[in-house]
Amino acid sequence: MIEHNHPILDVAEEEAVIRVLRSRHLAQGAEVAGLESDFAARVGVSHSVAVANGTVAIEIGLQSLGIGPGDEVVVPSLSFIATANAVRRVGATPVFADIDPKTYCLSAASVESRVTSRTRAIIAVHLYGHPADVDVLGALCDESGLVLIEDSAQGLGASWRGKSVGSHGRFATFSLYATKNATTGEGGVITTDDPEIAERARSLRSHQSRFVGRSLQVATNARMTDLQAAIGRVQLSKLDWMQEGRHRLAAVYERYLGPDVTTPYVAPEAVHGYHQYTIRTPDRESLIGRLEAAGVGYAIYYPTPIHLTETYVAANDRLPETETVSNEVVSLPIRPDLTDEEQGAVIAAVNGEGE
C-alpha cells in the first residue's frame, strides 16, 4: 500500500521530545514561546500565538475581534467543516459562498453577493495549499468595511506575490495537525500584525474571559504544550526541504499525468504549498477503482461540501461550482518522502497504464 500521507519525523523530533521530558516542563513555557517567534519569522508577521489546534485558533481569532451573535461571516463551503463550525461556536452565522473552479478557493463575485448589513468578516481558505486571491478579497473587505481572515490551515509553505500566506489578512490561522505540511500532532497558530489581537488571543487561550466589542468573550483552555512546540520547532526548521520535495513531486505529476485528469492550477501570483495534490476528473469512480486496484492511498477533500452537511443544509442555497468540484476531485500522495518508484506507480494507476 502506498500511503497517502504521513508526517516526516526523524531523530531530531525524538531528541526534542526527550529534551522537554527531561526539563520536566511539559505545559506551555519556553518551547511554546520559541515556536511562536520561529513561526512569526517564517510567516513574516510581528505576532504569533500558539494554541491547541487550528479550530480553536479560528474561534479565538474571531472572539478577539468581538465577532459573535448577530454577526455573519462569509466562508467557503469547500473546506474542512472546522471553518464553519468555528464561526458557529462563537455564536455568529457562517454564510457560504461559491468557489473559483480553477483555484478551488473563494470566488470574490460570489462573496460579494453574500454580503449583508450583518457581515463582519470573510474567511479565505487556502485550499489544498493554493492561496486564495487575497488581493481581490482584501479590496472587497476594504470597500465594504469587513475584516479579511485567512484560514491558512492548509497553506504553510504557500505565498502570494512573494509574501507568505498568513500575512495578508487582519489575522490568520494555521493548523499543525498530524497531516499538515508541518506538525505538532495537534496544534494551531494565530498570526497577526495587530498587537491588540495578539494580546487578546493570548488572554482568551488561557481562561481570561474579557469584554471585547459588545459582549463578554467566555474563554477556554486552548494552550499548546512545550512537548508539541518542541516538535513544531524541528518541523519548521525542516519545512524548506519538505516543501522542495512537494514541489519536485508536483512537477513530475504535472509532466506525466495524462490528459484525462485536470492537474492543479497555479495562479501567476502564487507559490503553491501543495498540502494536497488534487486532480479532477468527471469519471472519479473509475479513477478511484484504478487507484484501489494498484494499492495507492488517496483522499477526497471534501465529498460533502459543508452547506450540504446535516449541520448546515437548512440554511443555504445551491453553490454550483462547489457541488461539481466536490464530485470530481481526488488527492494523490505528495508527502515529501514518496519514492520515485511509488510515484511511478501512482502515475501508472491514474493513467490506466497496463490495463
Ligand X SMILES: Cc1ncc(COP(=O)(O)O)c(C=O)c1O
Asked if 153 interacts with ligand X (CB under 6 A), we say: yes
Q: Of 38-46, 94-102, 148-156, 240-248, which part binds ligand X (CB under 6 A)?
A: 148-156
| Nearer to ligand X (CB atom), residue 175 or residue 343 | 175
Residue 154, interface with ligand X (CB under 6 A)?
yes
Residue found under cell 497531516: 179
- Distance in angstroms (rounded) separating the CA atoms of residues 259 and 281: 10
Q: Which of residues 47-66 bind ligand X (CB under 6 A)?
A: 53-55
Residues 332 and 2 sit within 8 Å (Cβ to Cβ): no
Between 65 and 153, CB nearer to ligand X: 153
Q: Which of 48, 79, 167, 326 binds ligand X (CB under 6 A)?
A: 79
Cell numbers linked to 320: 454550483
Q: Tell me: does residue 312 bind ligand X (CB under 6 A).
A: no
Alpha carbon distance 20, 227 (integer Å): 6
Count of Cβ atoms closer than 10 Å to residue 1 Cβ: 7
The answer to whether 175 contacts ligand X (rule: CB under 6 A) is: yes
Nearer of residues 54 and 347 to ligand X, judged by Cβ: 54
Q: Kindly tell me which of 330 and 347 has the beta carbon lying closer to ligand X.
A: 330
Shortest Cβ 301–ligand X spacing (Å): 8
Asked whether 174 and 189 are in contact (CB, 8 A), the reply is: yes
- Applying CB under 6 A, which of residues 82, 90, 189, 201 lies at the interface with ligand X? 82
Of the ranges 16-24, 151-159, 292-300, 338-346, which one interacts with ligand X (CB under 6 A)?
151-159
CA pair distance 347, 149, nearest whole angstrom: 36
Distances from the Cα of 75 to the Cαs of 192, 229, 309, 344, in angstroms? Answer: 19, 29, 15, 37
Smallest gap from residue 123 Cβ to ligand X (A): 9
Tell whether residue 243 is a contact of ligand X (CB under 6 A): no
Q: How would you classify the pairing of strands 119-125 and 147-151?
A: parallel
Local structure of 173: helix, strand or coil? strand
In the numeric block, which cell numbers belong to residue 67? 465577532
Interface with ligand X (CB under 6 A), residue from 62, 75, 108, 125? 125
188 binds ligand X per the rule CB under 6 A: yes
CB of 58 to ligand X, least distance (A): 6
Site size toward ligand X (CB under 6 A) is 14
Instruction: Please give the full DSSP string across 210-223, using - where no structure is assigned.
Output: EEETTEEE---B-P
Report the residue from 133, 151, 226, 328 that binds ligand X according to the rule CB under 6 A.
Answer: 151
Residue 349 Cβ vs ligand X, minimum distance, rounded to whole Å: 26
Nearer to ligand X, 180 or 280 (CB): 180
Asked if 83 interacts with ligand X (CB under 6 A), we say yes
The least CB distance from residue 229 to ligand X, in Å, is 15
Cβ neighbours of 17 (radius 10 Å)? 15
175: helix, coil or strand? strand
Handedness of CA 247, 248, 253, 255 (dihedral sign): positive
Cell of 268: 501567476
Segment interacting with ligand X (CB under 6 A) among 75-83, 95-103, 142-150, 261-269: 75-83
Q: Give the SS3 label for residue 347.
A: helix
Q: CB of 167 within 8 A of CB of 180?
A: no
103 binds ligand X (CB under 6 A): no
Closest residue to ligand X, Cβ-based?
Answer: 54
In the complex, least distance from residue 104 CB atom to ligand X, rounded to whole angstroms: 11
Cα–Cα distance for residue pair 177/57, rounded to 1 Å: 12
**What's the closest the beta carbon of residue 351 comes to ligand X, in angstroms?**
29
**Bond before 274 cis per omega within 30 degrees:** no
CB of 57 to ligand X, least distance (A): 7
Query: Interface residues with ligand X (CB under 6 A)?
Result: 53-55, 79-80, 82-83, 125, 151, 153-154, 175, 177, 188
